[in-house]
């Protein structure tokens, strides 16, 4: 066989390889040309040894060239066939992804926790540090230190659950479930020097019949800010900033005069209704009057400052307090405060 | 305190030049909370009618047939059970189809004629309650006999009423005249005081007053009136009392009530005949002294009670409740009229002790527990005397007024600049002075200095801030600018325990558990249902002295019952519960507030697969087991970098003895976990396989170490699997601990591949297949190193736990 024959052989091989429709045919072609025993090119290679030395180099080169062409073609064809078969396989492998998944359990935080975190986060951006304090409290901090001595008519506002200690009660130091978070105003000021900016979330207790908006065990948040010049305008701005974050931008804020024995002046804040913008007289969120009462507030009373050793001629500041559940209800449309504590998972899983 | 102010009554003292809605808004914004504006709503079917004829109902003893003329030409017959009707009486009448208040439900309803004992009632004669005027539902509302028949009731009786919720700093507004003073200041209009009797200051012969306790009773006045004729009060007065929410009784009582509503000051009338001796005395109750009060109750007076007494005995509880014996009767002709000032805290404390505080208690006590001005005493007395002369034929024999230590006038010295300093609003001197004048303050200015004197009725004004509020509230809080505070920011502290707690919350929610928040006050019966024998797992709890309900009467000393209760209720409607709560438990301390110990509680019960209810197509049915709980607790510990330590105990009260574990530190158990004792589970209607864990958050926090990190390993690991055969009683934890101890720093980890029991291990034995991961930080371990390590481990296991090792 001479060089031309070898080239022809390779051409034939290439045609056969190119025509191979599957891997088996391709393998047959490989055996036919490159097979170790009877492959055509293997035969040609064996022949090299028998040639006269002068012909060997040229013939050898021709064999190698043909072999290399065939190998390349085989390789190329094999890859093409594999790609095609993979494509076919992928076309056949189908999963219905609208079927339900292998589910993971999803846990959520209770709406009270979520709301407390929201309150802490927002006031945090205004420089207020979150602190906490005891739920079971001395009468002194809950009332006396806040200008509400025994027999004071304002105690009516904070109907109290009185607590008895099984290890003995001291009638001169009654304890109670704190009816508001305001005792923490006094505790914080006793421990720190101005400037002060704190927010205090926590559980409170009242002797009160429950209904859709009132619970006898509930959560409040309290704010306190003291320095040398904070005034009612700062209070209004702080609460306005809070309302914008909670209820969205462009909330109107309304202050009306109110009374708390431990603030002077005192105010109650309301935000214009985010649900009806004050336009729906039947609105379920605001009850139709267009305003949502959110918190009581005011300038810390000089007597309260004096009692913790602050000089009211030098220091002044504000305090505010509101209900956590009320915020949660307003934010989510939750219809009844009692549902928060029934812990029906079908309810909680929605938050 | 809620008071009702009929607009026509208010107009008697102040000029109102705005509409009622604007008036209500101005009052509301400036501190007098307006709960509502009640407008006359009676329709055209409600008219005045005359009772023409009264007859017995033929089929019922207790019912009457009343024929009423309401001006329509054809009188109608109505059936009524009321006993106070008489022929000729003018009454409110509602024809069929009228809207009235249902006497039983309190809701508005349409009147439908219906037969009563066989006779159809063609309409209805109405009580005050059915007209929405009050709670009085006993009798028909008998109207002024001078009213025309057939008039629209709306026109002859309709009142617009402001319902005002007052705060205790404003006792001056307890009287309508006080509200009028507010209105005059807000509107800048004129104010008129009610006419009073000019009283001869000479004391009467037959009456004196004496104050024994000047602190409790700073002022005590009385008038003696003779020739009193008891009868009904005039119709206009009755109408006003009804509109203001009070029930007319007789002229003397009505006049004292009228003056109370007008000026805020309660008065009390005694039948002079019943007084022994010539004086009314304000004194402390004697030990064990008792009294039958107007509500027909015999009361033993508690210590510290101030009473009004005659020479021999207590007549009434001062400022709270009169006595039955000396009350005005139909034949009373001589009246001793008391008007006094009491120390408010004492009244508040006594009313609380007697259960007469609050809105359902004594109306006088509520007013006297606010700081009424002693200056109201002579005004109210003179006003009452005038009305008694005009409407009860009374002759004033004289008055006596004891006021030994008159209260000094309050003069508040301050700076004009205090107003912008506190309010942040720029209000100039002129406006400040104008506002104070409108509020009837007197004010003197000298440069920036201001001296303000409130009207005597304003007992709430004492300091500069009070004046600032007055100026600010009349100027209007809507003028407050909105400022974000600047100034020095405090340096915040870290609250590591709280941060740790919130990480725990996030972790557990991330593991798929739902957080709950349950009541911190629980039922004491729950606490004896936590062990099979009823013994307590927690110390005796704090108790609520005055619980709203027994189910919230102790402060929980453990989270367990709340968790079990929540699981129980949820398992009624679902097959799977995986919940946690992080909350304090309350542990009593001697002579101190309780410790509020933050605790993590976890409960797992039911279906362990996180599937939708009923969805079983991809995952088989599997129930929670103790390994799930272990995984959550250990996973949380890992997440929170808790290095657990302490003493392990096997016997945890209330849990399954063989499937629970506890850890403690110096006698304080800080972690319990395991299966609930199935007998306890049964008491809570829970599945026998209910799993619970409780973790003391502070102890975990203490043992939490901030992670110290190293770079990922650079050299390859060698793996060796061993089969460790031990006695059945040997816990796996011992095996792992010994391997760890023997392996040293080149033993990276130990994993359990399998636990096998069977013929090859022999009876009473078990085989743990474990994998050792060996790795050095300094180089690739060679075969001899690995062999040496494995040998050390196997040797230790053989020696320490008697294990047989099979390769």
Q: Quick check: B461 and B409 in contact, CB under 8 A?
A: no
Q: Which residues pair with A111 in a beta bridge?
A: none
What is the DSSP code string of B235-248? HHHHHHHHHTT---
Closest to B341 in 3D by CA, of B388, B376, B304, B392: B376
* A138 at interface of B, judged by CB pairs closer than 8 A: yes
Helix (H) or strand (E) holding B401: strand B395-402
Q: Is A81 exposed, middle or buried (0-12, 13-18, 19+ CB in 10 A)?
A: middle
Helix (H) or strand (E) holding A136: strand A136-138
Q: Quick check: B2 and B165 in contact, CB under 8 A?
A: yes
**Chain B: closest CA distance from residue A344 (Å):** 6
- Taking an 8 Å cut-off on Cβ atoms, the answer to whether B544 and A168 are in contact is no
What does the alpha-carbon distance between residue B107 and residue A253 come to, in Å, rounded to a whole number?
35
* Residues 329-348 of chain B whose Cβ lies under 8 A from any Cβ of chain A: 344-348
Please name the member of B348, B420, B482 whose beta carbon is closest to the beta carbon of A236.
Answer: B482
- Taking an 8 Å cut-off on Cβ atoms, the answer to whether B495 and A161 are in contact is no
Three-class secondary structure of residue B172 per DSSP: helix
Closest to A259 in 3D by CA, of B792, B503, B469, B743: B469
Of B376, B402, B428, the domain-final residue = B402
Alpha helices by DSSP H, listed for B286-403, are 344-353, 363-368, 376-392
| pLDDT at residue A1 in the model | 56
pLDDT at B313 over 90: yes
Task: Choose between B589 and B197: higher pLDDT.
Answer: B589
Residue B87 lies inside a defined structural domain of this protein: yes
- Taking an 8 Å cut-off on Cβ atoms, the answer to whether A257 and B489 are in contact is no
Sheet holding B543-544, edge to edge: A136-138, A175-177, A161-164, B543-544, B554-555, B521-522
* B545 at interface of A, judged by CB pairs closer than 8 A: yes
Chain A, nearest residue to B370 by Cα: A153
Number of domains in chain B: 6
* A202 at interface of B, judged by CB pairs closer than 8 A: no
Are residues B609 and B534 both part of a single domain?
Answer: yes
What does the alpha-carbon distance between residue A135 and residue B586 come to, in Å, rounded to a whole number?
9
Helices B176-187 and B429-438, axial angle in degrees (round to 10): 150
| pLDDT at residue B116 in the model | 81
What is each CA distance from B11 to A64, B8, B193, B385, B548, in whole angstroms? 123, 5, 11, 23, 43
What is each CA distance from B728 to B650, B755, B759, in whole angstroms? 17, 11, 14
- Token pair in block for residue A347: 């309810």
What does the alpha-carbon distance between residue A291 and residue A280 come to, in Å, rounded to a whole number?
11
| pLDDT at residue A273 in the model | 81
Residue B192 lies inside a defined structural domain of this protein: no
- Taking an 8 Å cut-off on Cβ atoms, the answer to whether B588 and A163 are in contact is no
* pLDDT tens by residue, B93-126: 999 899 998 878 888 889 887 788 888 888 899 9
Mean pLDDT is lowest, of B111-115, B471-475, B786-790, for B111-115
Please name the member of A112, A207, A345 whose beta carbon is closest to the beta carbon of B548.
Answer: A207
| pLDDT at residue A3 in the model | 60
What is each CA distance from B335 to B255, B283, B316, B338, in whole angstroms? 13, 21, 15, 9
- B223 confidence band (pLDDT: 50, 70, 90): very high
* A97 at interface of B, judged by CB pairs closer than 8 A: no
Q: Which residues of A touch B424 (CB under 8 A)?
A: 231-234, 236
- Taking an 8 Å cut-off on Cβ atoms, the answer to whether B478 and A131 are in contact is no
Are residues B507 and B584 both part of a single domain?
Answer: yes
Nearby residues of A59 by Cβ (< 8 Å), 6 or more positions away: A2, A3, A47, A48, A51
Nearby residues of B757 by Cβ (< 8 Å), 6 or more positions away: B728, B765, B766, B767
- B361 confidence band (pLDDT: 50, 70, 90): confident
Q: Which residues pair with B33 in a beta bridge?
A: B165
- Taking an 8 Å cut-off on Cβ atoms, the answer to whether A256 and B29 are in contact is yes
Residue B222 lies inside a defined structural domain of this protein: yes
* Residues 360-419 of chain B whose Cβ lies under 8 A from any Cβ of chain A: 366, 369-370
* Residues 145-174 of chain B whose Cβ lies under 8 A from any Cβ of chain A: 167-170
What does the alpha-carbon distance between residue B489 and residue A116 come to, in Å, rounded to a whole number?
22
What does the alpha-carbon distance between residue B45 and residue B49 come to, in Å, rounded to a whole number?
11
Residue B767, phi then psi, degrees to nearest 5:
-125, 125
Average pLDDT over residues B696-716: 92
Q: Which residues pair with A253 in a beta bridge?
A: A271
Q: Which residues pair with A176 in a beta bridge?
A: A137, A162
- Token pair in block for residue A93: 């492998």
Three-class secondary structure of residue B223 per DSSP: strand
Mean pLDDT is lowest, of A282-296, B25-39, B402-416, B751-765, for A282-296
Distance of CA A46 to the CA centre of its chain: 75
What does the alpha-carbon distance between residue B423 and residue B469 come to, in Å, rounded to a whole number?
8
Are residues B333 and B456 both part of a single domain?
Answer: no
* A24 at interface of B, judged by CB pairs closer than 8 A: no
| pLDDT at residue B807 in the model | 64
* A109 at interface of B, judged by CB pairs closer than 8 A: yes
- B388 confidence band (pLDDT: 50, 70, 90): very high
- Token pair in block for residue B371: 């700081």
Closest to B305 in 3D by CA, of B315, B295, B297: B315
* B205 at interface of A, judged by CB pairs closer than 8 A: no
- A195 cis-preceded (ω within 30 degrees of 0): yes
- B191 confidence band (pLDDT: 50, 70, 90): very high
Are residues B291 and B359 both part of a single domain?
Answer: yes
Nearby residues of B491 by Cβ (< 8 Å), 6 or more positions away: none
Question: To the nearest whole percent, how much of chain B has pLDDT over 70?
Answer: 100
Q: Quick check: B141 and B131 in contact, CB under 8 A?
A: yes
- Measured between its terminal Cα atoms, the distance across chain A in Å is 86
Q: Which of B345, B423, B485 to mutate to test the interface with A (most CBs of A within 10 A)?
A: B485
Q: Which of A124, A148, A151, A253 to mutate to test the interface with B (most CBs of B within 10 A)?
A: A151
Q: Which residues of B touch A102 (CB under 8 A)?
A: 618-619
Please name the member of A101, A109, A131 whose beta carbon is closest to the beta carbon of B515.
Answer: A109
Nearby residues of A117 by Cβ (< 8 Å), 6 or more positions away: A109, B502
Residue B198 lies inside a defined structural domain of this protein: no
What is each CA distance from B603 to B308, B560, B674, in whole angstroms? 62, 9, 10
Are residues B540 and B673 both part of a single domain?
Answer: yes
Q: Which of B173, B357, B470, B490 to mutate to test the interface with A (most CBs of A within 10 A)?
A: B490
Residue B217 lies inside a defined structural domain of this protein: yes
Nearby residues of A26 by Cβ (< 8 Å), 6 or more positions away: A17, A20, A74, A77, A78, A81
Q: Which residues of B touch A324 (CB under 8 A)?
A: none
* CATH number of the domain enclosing B30: 3.30.56.10
Positive/negative CA dihedral, A302, A308, A311, A314: negative
Q: Which residues of B touch A251 (CB under 8 A)?
A: none
Residue B512: how many CA atoms within 13 Å on its side-chain side? 17
Instruction: Name the pTM for this structure.
Output: 0.85
Q: Quick check: B302 and B353 in contact, CB under 8 A?
A: yes
| pLDDT at residue A38 in the model | 81
Distance of CA B160 to the CA centre of its chain: 31
Q: Quick check: A192 and A232 in contact, CB under 8 A?
A: no
Angle at B237 between CA B235 and CA B240, to 5 degrees: 110
What does the alpha-carbon distance between residue B479 and residue A270 come to, in Å, rounded to a whole number?
15
> Could you tell me the residue range of the domain that residue B29 belongs to?
2-40+162-187
Q: Is the ipTM of this complex over 0.90?
A: no
What does the alpha-carbon distance between residue B463 and residue B274 come to, in Å, rounded to a whole number?
46
Nearby residues of B434 by Cβ (< 8 Å), 6 or more positions away: none
Positive/negative CA dihedral, A29, A30, A35, A41: positive
* pLDDT tens by residue, B648-700: 887 899 999 999 999 998 778 999 999 999 999 999 999 999 999 999 999 99
Chain B, nearest residue to A299 by Cα: B422
**Chain A: closest CA distance from residue B370 (Å):** 6
- B496 confidence band (pLDDT: 50, 70, 90): very high
Are residues B295 and B371 both part of a single domain?
Answer: yes
Of B375, B402, B429, the domain-final residue = B402
DSSP B553: -
* pLDDT tens by residue, B228-286: 999 999 989 998 998 998 889 999 999 999 999 999 999 999 999 999 988 999 999 99
- Token pair in block for residue A197: 């900016």
| pLDDT at residue A2 in the model | 61
Are residues B33 and B55 both part of a single domain?
Answer: no
Helix (H) or strand (E) holding B108: strand B108-110
Closest to B396 in 3D by CA, of B404, B405, B388: B388
Are residues B454 and B553 both part of a single domain?
Answer: no
| pLDDT at residue A290 in the model | 83
- Measured between its terminal Cα atoms, the distance across chain B in Å is 86
Alpha helices by DSSP H, listed for B292-371, are 344-353, 363-368
* B615 at interface of A, judged by CB pairs closer than 8 A: yes
- B795 confidence band (pLDDT: 50, 70, 90): very high
Are residues B502 and B394 both part of a single domain?
Answer: no
* CATH number of the domain enclosing B309: 3.50.40.10
pLDDT at B48 over 80: yes
For chain B, give me the number of helices (H) and strands (E)?
20, 40
What does the alpha-carbon distance between residue B747 and residue B697 come to, in Å, rounded to a whole number?
32
What does the alpha-carbon distance between residue A166 and residue B540 come to, in Å, rounded to a whole number?
7
- A265 cis-preceded (ω within 30 degrees of 0): yes
Are residues B356 and B442 both part of a single domain?
Answer: no
Are residues B250 and B175 both part of a single domain?
Answer: no
Of B402, B427, B447, the domain-final residue = B402
Residue B539 lies inside a defined structural domain of this protein: yes
Q: Quick check: B103 and B130 in contact, CB under 8 A?
A: yes
Three-class secondary structure of residue B202 per DSSP: coil
Q: Which residues of A touch B484 (CB under 8 A)?
A: 126, 234, 237-238, 241
Low-confidence ranges of chain A (pLDDT < 50): none
Please name the member of A101, A227, A236 whose beta carbon is closest to the beta carbon of B480.
Answer: A236
| pLDDT at residue A156 in the model | 82
Are residues B426 and B319 both part of a single domain?
Answer: no
Q: Quick check: B691 and B675 in contact, CB under 8 A?
A: yes
Q: Which residues of A touch B588 (CB under 8 A)?
A: 165-167
* B587 at interface of A, judged by CB pairs closer than 8 A: no
Positive/negative CA dihedral, B390, B393, B399, B403: negative
* CATH number of the domain enclosing B735: 3.30.70.380
DSSP A145: G
Closest to B514 in 3D by CA, of A289, A114, A286: A114
What does the alpha-carbon distance between residue B116 and residue B645 come to, in Å, rounded to a whole number?
81
Chain A, nearest residue to B423 by Cα: A232
* Residues 7-46 of chain B whose Cβ lies under 8 A from any Cβ of chain A: 28-31, 33
Q: Quick check: B275 and B310 in contact, CB under 8 A?
A: yes
* Residues 720-749 of chain B whose Cβ lies under 8 A from any Cβ of chain A: none
Q: Which residues of B touch A241 (CB under 8 A)?
A: 484
- Taking an 8 Å cut-off on Cβ atoms, the answer to whether B489 and A127 are in contact is yes
- Taking an 8 Å cut-off on Cβ atoms, the answer to whether B488 and A195 are in contact is yes
* Residues 591-610 of chain B whose Cβ lies under 8 A from any Cβ of chain A: 591, 593-594, 596, 609-610
């Amino acid at each position: 066989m001479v060089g031309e024959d070898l080239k022809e052989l390779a051409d034939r091989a290439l045609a056969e390889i190119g025509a191979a429709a599957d891997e088996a045919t391709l393998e047959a072609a490989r055996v036919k040309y490159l097979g170790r025993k009877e492959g055509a090119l293997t035969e040609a290679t064996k022949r090299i040894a028998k040639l006269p030395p002068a012909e060997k180099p040229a013939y050898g080169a021709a064999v190698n060239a043909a072999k290399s062409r065939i190998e390349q073609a085989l390789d190329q064809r094999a890859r093409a066939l594999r790609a095609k078969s993979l494509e076919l396989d992928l076309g056949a492998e189908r999963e219905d992804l609208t079927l339900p998944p292998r589910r993971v359990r999803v846990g959520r935080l209770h709406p009270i926790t979520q709301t407390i975190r929201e309150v802490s986060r927002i006031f945090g951006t205004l420089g207020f540090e979150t602190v906490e304090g005891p739920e079971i409290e001395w009468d002194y901090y809950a009332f006396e230190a806040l200008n509400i001595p025994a027999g004071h008519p304002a105690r009516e506002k904070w109907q109290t659950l009185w607590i008895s200690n099984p290890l003995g009660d001291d009638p001169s130091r009654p304890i109670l479930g704190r009816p508001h978070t305001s005792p923490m105003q006094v505790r914080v000021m006793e421990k720190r020097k101005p400037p002060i900016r704190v927010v205090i979330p926590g559980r409170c207790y009242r002797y009160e019949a429950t209904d859709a908006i009132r619970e006898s065990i509930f959560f409040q948040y309290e704010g306190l800010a003291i320095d040398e010049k904070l005034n009612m305008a700062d209070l209004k701005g702080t609460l306005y900033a809070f309302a914008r974050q909670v209820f969205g931008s462009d909330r109107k804020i309304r202050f009306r005069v109110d009374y708390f024995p431990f603030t002077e002046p005192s105010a109650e804040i309301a935000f214009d209704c985010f649900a009806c913008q004050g336009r729906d007289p039947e609105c379920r969120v605001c009850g139709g009057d267009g305003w949502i009462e959110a918190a009581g507030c005011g300038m810390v009373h000089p007597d309260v400052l004096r009692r913790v050793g602050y000089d009211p001629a030098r220091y002044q500041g504000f305090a505010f307090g509101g209900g956590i559940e009320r915020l949660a209800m307003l934010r989510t449309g939750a219809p009844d405060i009692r549902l928060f504590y029934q812990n029906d998972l079908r309810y909680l899983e929605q938050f | 305190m809620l008071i009702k102010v009929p607009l026509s009554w208010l107009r008697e003292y102040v000029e109102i030049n705005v509409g009622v809605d604007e008036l209500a808004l101005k009052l509301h914004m400036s501190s007098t909370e307006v709960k509502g504006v009640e407008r006359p709503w009676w329709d055209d079917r409600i008219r005045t009618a005359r009772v023409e004829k009264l007859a017995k109902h033929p089929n019922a003893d207790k019912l009457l047939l009343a024929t009423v003329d309401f001006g329509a030409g054809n009188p109608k017959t109505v059936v009524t059970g009321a006993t106070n009707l008489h022929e000729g009486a003018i009454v409110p009448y509602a024809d069929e189809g009228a809207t009235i208040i249902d006497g039983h439900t309190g809701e508005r309803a349409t009147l439908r004629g219906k037969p009563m004992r066989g006779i159809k009632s063609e309409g209805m004669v109405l009580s005050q309650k059915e007209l929405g005027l009050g709670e009085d539902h006993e009798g028909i509302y008998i109207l002024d006999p001078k009213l025309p028949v057939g008039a629209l009731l709306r026109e002859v009786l309709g009142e617009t009423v402001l319902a005002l919720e007052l705060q205790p700093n404003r006792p001056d507004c307890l009287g309508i005249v006080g509200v009028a003073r507010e209105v005059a200041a807000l509107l800048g209009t004129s104010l008129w005081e009610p006419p009073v009797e000019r009283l001869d200051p000479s004391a009467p012969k037959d009456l004196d007053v004496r104050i024994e306790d000047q602190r409790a009773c700073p002022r005590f006045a009385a008038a003696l009136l003779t020739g009193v004729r008891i009868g009904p009060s005039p119709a206009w007065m009755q109408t006003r009392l009804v509109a203001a929410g009070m029930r007319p009784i007789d002229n003397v009582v009505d006049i004292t009530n009228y003056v109370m509503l007008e000026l805020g000051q309660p008065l009390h009338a005694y039948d002079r005949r019943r007084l022994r001796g010539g004086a009314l005395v304000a004194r402390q109750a004697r030990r064990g002294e008792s009294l039958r009060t107007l509500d027909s109750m015999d009361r033993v007076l508690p210590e510290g009670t101030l009473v009004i007494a005659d020479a021999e005995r207590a007549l009434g509880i001062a400022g709270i409740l009169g006595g039955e014996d000396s009350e005005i009767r139909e034949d009373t002709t001589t009246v001793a009229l008391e008007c006094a000032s009491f120390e408010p805290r004492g009244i508040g404390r006594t009313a609380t002790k007697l259960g007469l505080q609050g809105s359902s208690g004594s109306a006088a006590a509520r007013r006297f527990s606010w700081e009424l001005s002693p200056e109201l005493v002579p005004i109210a007395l003179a006003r009452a005397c005038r009305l008694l002369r005009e409407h009860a034929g009374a002759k004033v024999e004289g008055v006596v007024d004891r006021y030994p230590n008159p209260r000094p006038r309050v003069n508040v010295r301050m700076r004009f600049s205090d107003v912008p300093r506190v309010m942040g609003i720029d209000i100039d001197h002129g406006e400040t002075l104008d506002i104070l004048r409108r509020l009837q303050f007197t004010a003197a200015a000298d440069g920036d200095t201001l001296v303000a004197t409130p009207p005597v009725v304003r007992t709430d004004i004492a300091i500069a801030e009070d004046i600032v509020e007055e100026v600010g509230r009349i100027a209007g809080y809507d003028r407050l600018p909105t400022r974000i505070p600047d100034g020095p920011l405090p340096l915040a502290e870290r609250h590591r325990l709280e941060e740790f707690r919130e990480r725990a919350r996030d972790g557990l929610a991330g593991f798929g558990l739902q957080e709950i928040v349950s009541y911190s006050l629980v039922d004491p019966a729950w606490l004896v249902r936590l062990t099979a024998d009823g013994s307590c797992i927690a110390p005796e709890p704090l108790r609520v002295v005055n619980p709203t309900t027994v189910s919230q009467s102790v402060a929980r000393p453990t989270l367990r019952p709340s968790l079990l209760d929540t699981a129980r209720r949820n398992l009624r409607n679902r097959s799977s519960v995986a919940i946690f709560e992080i909350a304090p438990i309350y542990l009593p301390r001697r002579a101190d507030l309780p410790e509020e110990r933050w605790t993590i509680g976890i409960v797992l019960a039911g279906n362990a697969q996180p599937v939708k209810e009923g969805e079983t197509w991809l995952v088989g049915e599997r129930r929670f087991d103790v390994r799930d709980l272990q995984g959550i607790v250990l996973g949380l510990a890992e997440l929170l970098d808790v290095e657990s330590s302490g003493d392990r105990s096997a016997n945890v009260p209330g849990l399954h003895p063989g499937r629970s574990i506890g850890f403690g530190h110096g006698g304080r158990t800080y972690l319990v976990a395991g299966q609930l004792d199935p007998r306890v589970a049964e008491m809570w209607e829970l599945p026998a396989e209910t799993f619970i864990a409780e973790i003391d958050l502070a102890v975990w926090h203490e043992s939490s170490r901030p992670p110290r990190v190293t770079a990922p390993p650079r050299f390859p690991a060698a793996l060796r699997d061993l089969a460790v055969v031990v006695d059945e009683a040997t816990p796996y934890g011992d095996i792992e601990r010994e391997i760890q101890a023997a392996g040293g720093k080149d033993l990276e980890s130990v994993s359990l591949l399998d636990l096998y029991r069977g013929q090859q291990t022999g009876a009473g034995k078990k085989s743990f297949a474990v994998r050792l991961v060996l790795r050095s930080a300094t180089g690739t371990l060679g075969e001899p190193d690995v062999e040496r390590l494995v040998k050390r481990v196997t040797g230790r296991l053989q020696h320490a736990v008697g294990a047989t090792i099979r390769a």
